[in-house]
Amino acid sequence: MAKGIEIREAHFPGRAPIDAYGNGGFRFADMSHRGSLLCLPSGVHGWDLAEGEPLTVASLSALLDEASGIEFVLLGTGLKLRPVPADVKAALRARGIASDPMSTGAAVRTYNIMLAEQRPVAAALIAV
Protein backbone atom coordinates (compact mmCIF):
# COMPACT_ATOMS: atom_id res chain seq x y z
CA MET A 1 0.00 0.00 0.00
CA ALA A 2 1.56 3.30 -1.12
CA LYS A 3 1.82 6.16 1.32
CA GLY A 4 1.07 9.72 0.37
CA ILE A 5 3.14 12.68 1.40
CA GLU A 6 4.02 12.50 5.06
CA ILE A 7 3.82 15.82 6.90
CA ARG A 8 6.14 15.91 9.89
CA GLU A 9 6.66 18.50 12.58
CA ALA A 10 9.30 21.02 11.45
CA HIS A 11 12.48 20.19 13.36
CA PHE A 12 16.21 20.51 12.66
CA PRO A 13 18.12 18.38 15.19
CA GLY A 14 20.97 20.68 16.10
CA ARG A 15 21.92 24.23 16.88
CA ALA A 16 22.38 26.50 13.89
CA PRO A 17 22.79 30.22 13.37
CA ILE A 18 20.02 32.00 11.50
CA ASP A 19 21.36 33.04 8.08
CA ALA A 20 18.42 35.23 7.01
CA TYR A 21 14.94 36.27 8.08
CA GLY A 22 12.00 38.03 6.44
CA ASN A 23 9.24 37.27 3.94
CA GLY A 24 7.47 35.30 6.66
CA GLY A 25 10.29 32.89 7.47
CA PHE A 26 13.93 32.08 8.15
CA ARG A 27 16.97 30.47 6.50
CA PHE A 28 19.39 28.32 8.51
CA ALA A 29 21.59 25.26 7.93
CA ASP A 30 21.08 25.48 4.13
CA MET A 31 17.30 25.17 4.61
CA SER A 32 14.38 27.54 4.75
CA HIS A 33 11.36 27.54 7.03
CA ARG A 34 8.15 29.49 6.57
CA GLY A 35 6.73 30.62 9.91
CA SER A 36 8.08 31.25 13.39
CA LEU A 37 10.87 29.30 15.13
CA LEU A 38 11.93 28.07 18.54
CA CYS A 39 15.72 27.67 18.65
CA LEU A 40 16.42 25.30 21.55
CA PRO A 41 19.39 23.17 22.64
CA SER A 42 17.60 20.13 21.13
CA GLY A 43 17.33 21.83 17.75
CA VAL A 44 15.38 24.32 15.70
CA HIS A 45 11.63 23.73 15.84
CA GLY A 46 8.74 25.20 13.89
CA TRP A 47 6.65 27.38 16.22
CA ASP A 48 2.95 28.01 15.68
CA LEU A 49 2.83 31.70 16.64
CA ALA A 50 2.28 34.58 14.24
CA GLU A 51 2.96 38.27 14.66
CA GLY A 52 0.19 39.91 16.66
CA GLU A 53 -0.81 36.72 18.48
CA PRO A 54 -0.34 36.83 22.26
CA LEU A 55 2.75 35.27 23.78
CA THR A 56 1.56 32.78 26.41
CA VAL A 57 3.01 30.20 28.77
CA ALA A 58 1.34 27.51 26.63
CA SER A 59 2.93 28.84 23.43
CA LEU A 60 6.36 28.47 25.07
CA SER A 61 5.72 24.99 26.50
CA ALA A 62 8.46 23.34 24.39
CA LEU A 63 10.99 25.90 25.64
CA LEU A 64 9.84 25.54 29.25
CA ASP A 65 10.00 21.73 29.01
CA GLU A 66 13.64 21.97 27.92
CA ALA A 67 14.63 24.61 30.49
CA SER A 68 17.59 22.68 31.93
CA GLY A 69 19.87 23.63 29.01
CA ILE A 70 18.78 27.27 28.81
CA GLU A 71 19.84 30.25 30.92
CA PHE A 72 18.71 33.02 28.60
CA VAL A 73 15.95 33.32 26.00
CA LEU A 74 15.72 36.00 23.33
CA LEU A 75 12.11 36.75 22.44
CA GLY A 76 11.85 38.07 18.89
CA THR A 77 8.43 39.71 19.07
CA GLY A 78 8.01 40.61 15.39
CA LEU A 79 8.65 43.90 13.65
CA LYS A 80 8.28 45.86 16.89
CA LEU A 81 9.20 45.27 20.50
CA ARG A 82 6.28 43.94 22.52
CA PRO A 83 6.39 43.53 26.31
CA VAL A 84 6.45 40.03 27.75
CA PRO A 85 3.31 39.23 29.79
CA ALA A 86 3.95 38.96 33.53
CA ASP A 87 2.86 35.30 33.71
CA VAL A 88 5.28 34.35 30.91
CA LYS A 89 8.14 36.19 32.63
CA ALA A 90 7.28 34.45 35.91
CA ALA A 91 7.20 30.99 34.25
CA LEU A 92 10.61 31.60 32.68
CA ARG A 93 12.07 33.01 35.89
CA ALA A 94 10.75 30.00 37.87
CA ARG A 95 12.93 27.78 35.66
CA GLY A 96 15.98 30.03 36.03
CA ILE A 97 15.67 31.55 32.55
CA ALA A 98 16.29 35.25 31.99
CA SER A 99 14.38 36.77 29.08
CA ASP A 100 14.85 39.74 26.81
CA PRO A 101 12.17 40.86 24.34
CA MET A 102 13.24 42.68 21.19
CA SER A 103 12.32 42.90 17.53
CA THR A 104 12.86 39.66 15.62
CA GLY A 105 15.76 41.16 13.65
CA ALA A 106 17.60 42.19 16.82
CA ALA A 107 16.87 38.80 18.39
CA VAL A 108 18.31 36.95 15.38
CA ARG A 109 21.51 39.00 15.47
CA THR A 110 21.92 38.60 19.24
CA TYR A 111 21.14 34.87 19.09
CA ASN A 112 23.83 34.32 16.45
CA ILE A 113 26.43 36.10 18.59
CA MET A 114 25.51 34.24 21.77
CA LEU A 115 25.40 30.92 19.91
CA ALA A 116 28.89 31.56 18.49
CA GLU A 117 30.05 32.24 22.06
CA GLN A 118 28.58 28.84 23.05
CA ARG A 119 26.31 30.43 25.64
CA PRO A 120 23.23 28.54 26.97
CA VAL A 121 20.78 30.57 24.91
CA ALA A 122 17.45 29.87 23.25
CA ALA A 123 15.36 32.05 20.95
CA ALA A 124 11.67 32.33 20.27
CA LEU A 125 11.43 34.10 16.92
CA ILE A 126 8.15 35.37 15.45
CA ALA A 127 8.38 35.43 11.66
CA VAL A 128 8.26 38.82 9.95
pLDDT of res. 13:
77
Task: Count CB neighbours of 27 within 10 A.
Answer: 15
Sign of CA dihedral 20, 26, 28, 33: negative
pLDDT of res. 6:
46
Q: How far from 79 is each of 7, 22, 41, CA to CA, in Å?
A: 29, 10, 25
pLDDT of res. 3:
58
pLDDT of res. 7:
45
Per-residue pLDDT tens listing for the chain (128 residues): 555 544 445 667 789 999 999 999 999 999 999 999 999 999 999 999 999 999 999 999 999 999 888 999 999 999 999 999 999 999 999 999 999 999 999 999 999 999 999 999 999 999 99
pLDDT of res. 12:
75
List all residues 6 or more positions away from 109 whose beta carbon is below 8 Å from its beta carbon. Answer: none
Domain 12-125 falls in which CATH fold?
Hypothetical Protein Mth938; Chain: A, (3.40.1230)
Domain edges within the chain: 12-125
